[in-house]
Structure formats: structure tokens, C-alpha cells
Structure 1
Amino acid sequence: MARRYEHSQEEIKAMVMQAANQIIVEQGGAALNVRKIAMTIGYTVGSIYMVFENMADLVLHVNAETLDEIAGALNKVETGSASRDLEEIAKAYLKFASLNFNRWSMLFGNRFVDSGHFPDWYRAKMNRLEEIITTQIARLHPENNPQQNQRIGNALWGGIHGVCLLSINGRPDKESLQEAEETLRVLVRAFVGGER
């Protein structure tokens, strides 16, 4: 077992995060527990609780990294056309979810966190995904007030997420992903009024 003085608290925190992500990727969120993480990094359970308040706090930080990665993937989309960008954003979200299924599903079905009590810093990360969509809606409909575009963006985001949730189960085959992409294309075009 490593001794506490061998690593700083920031280093331990990074080790815990890396081990937690590895467990989630390889075994799924249901396999995640503090003892397994402690064994993986060679520290005690108590050492983990020196850098995270509890398991819910750890999961929030792990999920926050996933949210940041999703936002990064969605922000890379830029074709110049708002309607085309929305289609590509939807496809990028589907791609991230299918390639990172265990991490993605941990965001929405974890047993550690009460979703009604997310801290503000975490809510801001969640809201950033909706803002990516809302920004494109505002480009398409500059005549709308911000609240209208926010509602449209939230509805579209819910639809995109719903299609992904219903389409991805573990490792979907190529045909299922193509079908999901086509469903997303139809959904986005319905929201933008068929604009190209």
C-alpha cells in the first residue's frame, strides 16, 4: 500500500478519478465502489475520503469530466449552417454515447447521486449541453426572444437525448446506429422546419 506522503492530495484525487473511470469503462457503473478504487490505486478507503466528501461527490466529479468531454465533442461541430450544425451535433452526441456507453449511462442512471440536489457547478456543466443546442436555435430564429429559443432548444435536446437513450444499449451494431442517425436527422429537420 502506498503511503499518504508519497502523493499530494491532488495526485490522489487524479488517481481516484482515473481508477473510477477505468472501472466504469471496463465493468459499468454498477461495479463502482470505494473499496475497488482503493485497491486499484493502493490507498485506503480513508485516503479517498480525504479528497472526496463521499461516493456521491466522487461520482459527480467523474460525471463532470464526462460532461466536459461531451461538450468538447459537440463544440467541435461547425459547418457554417445552423440547421446542418444541429444535425451534426445530434450525430456527435450519438457517437459519443455509443463509443462511451458505460460512462454516458453513468450520467443518467447512477445510484449514488440524488438528481434533485446537484450542486450549482455541476448544473452549469449539464446546462452547457443545452446551451450548445440553444445557440444554434437562436441562429436559426433570431426573431425569437431568448426564452422561446431556450424552450425550443430544451425540447430538441430532450428529443436528441431520448433517441440516443432508446437506440443505444451497450454496443449497438452499425445498422442500429444508422437507424438512430436517420431518426435524429428527421427529428432535427422537424424542429428546424426542413431548412437546409
Structure 2
Amino acid sequence: MLGELGITRCTWRSKHQRDESTPVIPFAKANEKWVLYPHNDALVVTILVINLTTRRILIDNGSSADILLWEVFTRMGIDAAQLHSAPMSLKGFSGSMVHPLGTITLTVLTSSTPCTTSIIVNFLVVRTLSSYNSIIGRPTLNSLQAVMSTYQLKMKFLTPHGVVEIRGEQVLARECYVQELKQKDGRVTPDGTSRKE
């Protein structure tokens, strides 16, 4: 199942290649074989958030928060009473304010055996119109010490067992982009259906 989530492999390094205090996270030319070039696509992935395989997760180092949409939160079957009060509002690119419904701490599985890594993510739960189900921002990327290549549509980070590589889903990224454009010009309603002309 995890192979379907865009998780490709762990890269092992021998200790004599480089001093252990200076780890290497390589991005080799071979990593480009799954990407159609040229492109300007976002890094969009599918990962396991508690019990739900969650598609359309935007990896965004420009976001100061980790965000989970309300619709996804409800699909997880979590009681809304478990939400804690949110410490802040969010300001979007357009300057509009979004007020989170609360915060929730969830386990995210970010890799596959033998490099399985479960991390705890503090999500802000929001009810807003978006083609993404979640945004993984700087708090989680920094805690993982993750390195991204938007050119290769990859995210990598170190674990005690090696380097984990998560591959973006280019077709999904393009679908999200098209849906965002439709939402902005009013052709898609908040539930994702097309508005009749």
C-alpha cells in the first residue's frame, strides 16, 4: 500500500563515503525519470495521516503552518471536541484572513520500511475552499530537516536508517492547479462541483 503513496526508496550510504557529522542528501539525475519536463508544478504528495490515506497534500515551505481541511478532518472520524483553540488566524496570499476551527495533533507516516518514520504534526484545522486536502509547511519540514527539489518533485530527509525520498505526483499537482483556477473564477462551488453557467 505504501508503494502507492509515492514513497520510492531509502538510499543507504557507507560510513567511509563522508564524515557522519556531515550527512549527504543526494539529488541525482536518475531521480528525474518520473517527471515531465519542462514544468512549474507544485510538490503534491499522498501520505498516511493517522488512519486515512490522504491525497492532495501540498508541500509548501512558504507556509508558516501545517493545515488540514475540515472535510478531511471529518472523514478521519475524529470528534470535533478534540480540537484545541487555535492561537492565531491565517493570512492568505490575497490578504484574506482565515480563522482556524482549532488545532489537532496527529500522527503522520512519512516513509516506508525499513525507513518508517512516524512524526507528530500539529495541524490547524480550517474550513475554506481549496483543491488541497492539507498543507505541510515549515514546522514539519523543519522538524524533519527535509530538503526539497521542486525541479525533480522530490522531498528527502534523513532517518537513523538512511535517506527517505517522497516523490511528488505531477498529474495530481496539475489537477489541483486547474481546480484552484476554476475556484478563483467562480466556476467551482465550495463542495467541488461545477457551477452551471
TM range (shorter): under 0.3
Please report the TM-score for the alignment, with normalisation by the length of structure 2: 0.26
Structure with bigger strand share is: 2
Please report the TM-score for the alignment, with normalisation by the length of structure 1: 0.26
Bigger CA radius of gyration? 1
